């Protein structure tokens, strides 16, 4: 099974690029973030013509997540337990939930497409929301991997944290001054990694690869990017991973997303996958 994640930054703008890449790379399951549309606005036809079915969660022109799969999608959920909501200027347990999570089961593998809140700036209420979101996700990951240790389980998407210094090549992203690299955010990411999931890509790709480059100030040509898109897998998932790749070239060309796909190959059951890695 070939599984990938990609913050597409508006699926209606980039449907051609996304579907072409999925077909070209023989992707079985794709987790998408920032689709920026409601389900009825999603370009279903292009995916269906390519042989994919869809699970979609979008509420408006912001955020939004989806999963595309060649195999049947079952057990769809659009939030994990205790996932917090957000409404600027308001506090409390019953704030509206944003379209930032969708989970599904495909051929026995439980996958989530996640778009973690950005945080906006240090001291902003959105940063507190981000940390609360991480805390709830960490509790869920621990409970899920404890209850079902034999089931491959993966959290995939845009985590909006560069956990290590080597994951940050953007000179404007500075510890103590900006989000994504603050000690609190990094601690939240590491706590998640200690809750039964692990980064299954890092050890299989060259050091210093990024997954995101801002559109401004020639960040991509200068390779001033961030590694903030991850595939975090349970022990059962990690044991099945045979290769991983970050597809940097998808940041090139006409109208690219500011993120690139991250992909892993799994050997499940009788799978025999000898497809090459692409960096």
Q: What is the pTM of this model?
A: 0.95
DSSP states of 97-117 as a string? PPS-EEEEEETTEEEEEEE--
- In this predicted structure, what is the pLDDT of residue 273? 47
Mean pLDDT computed over every residue of the chain: 95
- In this predicted structure, what is the pLDDT of residue 1? 98
Q: What are phi and psi of 89, to 5 degrees?
A: 85, 5
Contact 210, 168 (CB under 8 A): no
What is the per-residue pLDDT across 237-263, written as a single tens digit (0 to 9) for each?
999 999 999 999 999 999 999 999 999
**What is the pLDDT confidence band of residue 271, given thresholds at 50, 70 and 90?**
low
Domains of the chain and CATH, by start: 2-266 (3.60.10.10)
Mean pLDDT on 153-177 = 97
pLDDT above 60: residue 278: no
Q: Count how many Cα atoms sit within 13 Å of the Cα of residue 39 in the half-sphere of its side chain.
A: 11
Give every CB contact of residue 270 below 8 A, 6+ residues apart in sequence.
none
DSSP states of 9-61 as a string? S-HHHHHHHHHHHHHHTT-SEEEEE---S-GGGS-HHHHHHTT-EEEEE--SS
């Amino acid at each position: 099974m070939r599984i990938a994640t990609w913050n597409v930054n508006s699926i209606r703008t980039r449907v051609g690029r996304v579907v072409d890449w999925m077909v070209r790379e023989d992707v079985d399951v794709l987790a998408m973030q920032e689709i920026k549309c409601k389900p009825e606005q999603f370009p279903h036809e292009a995916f269906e013509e390519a042989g994919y079915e869809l699970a979609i969660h979008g509420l408006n022109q912001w955020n939004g997540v989806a999963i595309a799969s060649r195999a049947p999608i079952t057990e769809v959920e659009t939030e994990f337990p205790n996932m917090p909501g957000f409404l600027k200027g308001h506090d409390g347990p019953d704030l509206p939930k944003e379209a930032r999570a969708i989970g599904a089961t495909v051929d026995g593998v439980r996958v989530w497409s996640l778009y973690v809140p950005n945080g906006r700036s240090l001291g902003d209420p959105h940063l507190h929301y981000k940390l609360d979101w991480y805390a709830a996700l960490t509790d869920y990951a621990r409970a899920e991997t404890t209850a079902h240790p034999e089931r491959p389980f993966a959290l995939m998407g845009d985590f909006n944290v560069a956990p290590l210094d080597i994951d940050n090549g953007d000179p404007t992203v500075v510890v103590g001054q900006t989000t994504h690299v603050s000690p609190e955010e990094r601690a939240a990411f590491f706590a998640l990694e200690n809750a039964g999931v692990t980064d299954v890509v890092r050890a299989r790709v060259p050091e210093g690869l990024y997954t995101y480059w801002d559109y401004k100030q020639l960040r991509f040509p200068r390779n001033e990017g961030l590694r903030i898109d991850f595939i975090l897998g349970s022990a059962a998932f990690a044991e099945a991973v045979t290769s991983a790749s970050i597809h940097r070239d998808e940041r090139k060309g006409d109208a690219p997303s500011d993120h690139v796909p991250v992909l892993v190959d799994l050997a499940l059951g009788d799978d025999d996958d000898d497809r090459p890695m692409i960096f």
